[in-house]
Amino acid sequence: MTCSGAPKGMVLMLALASSPALAQRGQGNAQFQRYPFDKWATEDAKPQIAWSVRIDPPRLSPHQRLITGLHVTVAPDEIRKQKGNGPILVFARIEDPGGHRYQTGSQTPMARLHRGDRFLQLDYDVSAFVLPGEYVVSLAVCDGATLQHSFIRQRLHVAPIKPDPLPDSWSGLPAVEFLPDIGAPDSWYLPQVRYGIALPLAAEHPLRVELLVNTTPSELGSPASFRRSMELIVPALKVLTGLNSASEATSVGLTILDLNRRVQAYRQPDLRGADLRREWFELRPSFTELSAASIEAKTLAGQRKTLDFFSGEVDSLLGGHGSGGGEHDRAARVLIVLSAPAFFEHQEAPPLPDLPADPGRRVFFISYSPLASVVQADPASAARPLGQRPLYLFTDDIAHLLKPLGARVFRVSRPEEFRKALGAILDEIAKM
């Protein structure tokens, strides 16, 4: 929740004081039980508190889930009119086609909305993952002392993806799942979200899938670039951990590389049975040391062995001479590399991974680039945006390294493009 004062644009960030977002059948959380929200829903009363409401059109998120946003605003002048000393409450409920209720809310003490002789604007924002279908969204705002309130109900249509390259990925997911209000890097991974998408692997033969994720900033020394890339890479990483198979002969491993330091930031050789919500706390340091990453980048910018290190990791994961053998040697090998476009200066030409010929081996590279606004400067007016394009337009160093291995390269910038790439990868694995 955000509170801002109109006169001087003062902004105060407030943490949501909401109960956990759970599916509700009948009565909801404590806030819905204490205040007569259900009674308001049956009335046709005029608004008693002036407010504005916005519901975002559903879109595909980087987590490969459809997402909508609910927004409530109460202006400072309206806050000033409230005579009670109780909190200002916001209620949000979404009802699915089966009549199941999902609800959350917030309470903001009046003292946090009052700064000297000024009052602050109340902004409530909450997002939710939703499945395709028809929903009813109910929102209310209330003065907790006087019970003056406003209530609104709107319908929300969530269209399916057509055609959907991942038609079974949402099987078993709840119709609605409210998202927590948290900061980065947790907002990138969403460890509190209980459910993930499913990416079933249909392979007729023993299969070893390795996920290799690069977390190095594309512009060395730029924390801003790191954040922009990780807003895409970390959700995509979580999506890829949904790869699974009912066959005991199929396994999936995950490696996260820090190419600045030339180390494995994380390694899990078998994701089967791993509690990735709990293991996020092992993954998290890879994405939190932004200042350290900046210092390392400046220190190591002249090193010539970064791509050589990456080549060695590819060699090991694909079962080359550096892998040391193992029980997976008889399985077909699939390597899926995920990275923002990466460019490294003054690199020695790295040797290709030392791999024996294997017509059954598959290598995929998903180059996920943030979008940049395209602006045309008009001499007669201020610069105006013309649209968006990928931030990086050129083939990066990782693609140059992987192409000689026959890698299939997917250059994506939008969740829809990433979804198509995943569908193509699963289709090709199924034919192995």
Q: For the domain that residue 151 is a member of, what is the CATH number?
A: 2.60.40.3880
24 and 107 housed in the same domain: yes
222 and 161 housed in the same domain: no
Q: Point out the least confidently predicted range of 133-142, 300-309, 398-407, 408-417.
A: 300-309
Question: What percent of the chain has a predicted confidence (pLDDT) above 90?
Answer: 52
Report which listed range, 148-157, 225-234, 240-249, 306-315, is most confident: 148-157
Above 80 in pLDDT, residue 19? no
Where is the domain boundary, 146, 178, 210?
A: 178
pLDDT digits (tens, 9 = 90+) for 358-375: 777 899 999 998 765 554
Q: Are 398 and 365 in contact (CB under 8 A)?
A: yes
pTM reported for the whole predicted model: 0.84
295 and 172 housed in the same domain: no
Per-residue pLDDT, 390: 61
108 and 192 housed in the same domain: no
What is the count of structural domains for the chain? 2
- Joined tokens for residue 131: 């499945």
- Joined tokens for residue 236: 């995509």
- Overall average pLDDT of the 224-244 stretch: 89
Per-residue pLDDT, 237: 94
248 and 321 housed in the same domain: yes
Give the residue among 149, 44, 140 at the shortest CA–CA distance from 86. 149
Above 60 in pLDDT, residue 149? yes
- Nearest 5°: phi and psi at 354? -80, 85
- Joined tokens for residue 76: 């400072």
Q: Are 107 and 87 in contact (CB under 8 A)?
A: yes
Per-residue pLDDT, 331: 84
Using pLDDT thresholds of 50, 70 and 90, give the confidence band for residue 187: very high
Above 60 in pLDDT, residue 297? no
91 and 6 housed in the same domain: yes
- Overall average pLDDT of the 146-170 stretch: 96
Report which listed range, 13-22, 88-97, 275-284, is most confident: 88-97
Q: Could you give the CA distance from residue 3 to residue 1 in angstroms, rounded to a whole number?
A: 7
Above 90 in pLDDT, residue 167? yes
Where is the domain boundary, 178, 213, 231?
A: 178
Domain assignment of residue 315, given as a range: 186-430
- Nearest 5°: phi and psi at 138? -120, 130
- Overall average pLDDT of the 86-100 stretch: 94
141 and 277 housed in the same domain: no
420 and 326 housed in the same domain: yes
274 and 337 housed in the same domain: yes
- Joined tokens for residue 426: 């699963």
Provide the mean pLDDT of the chain: 82
- Overall average pLDDT of the 123-145 stretch: 96
Q: For the domain that residue 398 is a member of, what is the CATH number?
A: 3.40.50
How does strand 408-412 pair with strand 362-368?
Answer: parallel
pLDDT digits (tens, 9 = 90+) for 375-420: 455 555 555 555 665 655 667 889 988 998 899 999 999 999 999 9
pLDDT digits (tens, 9 = 90+) for 328-339: 567 889 999 999
Higher pLDDT, 273 or 384: 273
- Overall average pLDDT of the 122-136 stretch: 97
| Cα 230 to Cα 188, 349, 391, distances in angstroms | 7, 27, 14
Q: Which residues of 110-132 are buried (b: 16+ CB within 10 A; e: fewer)?
A: beebbeeeebbbbbbbbbbbbbb
Residue 248 burial (CB < 10 Å; 0-12/13-18/19+)? exposed
Q: Are 408 and 418 in contact (CB under 8 A)?
A: no
Where is the domain boundary, 151, 178, 205?
A: 178
Using pLDDT thresholds of 50, 70 and 90, give the confidence band for residue 9: very low
156 and 256 housed in the same domain: no
302 and 226 housed in the same domain: yes
Per-residue pLDDT, 391: 58
Above 50 in pLDDT, residue 228? yes
203 and 153 housed in the same domain: no
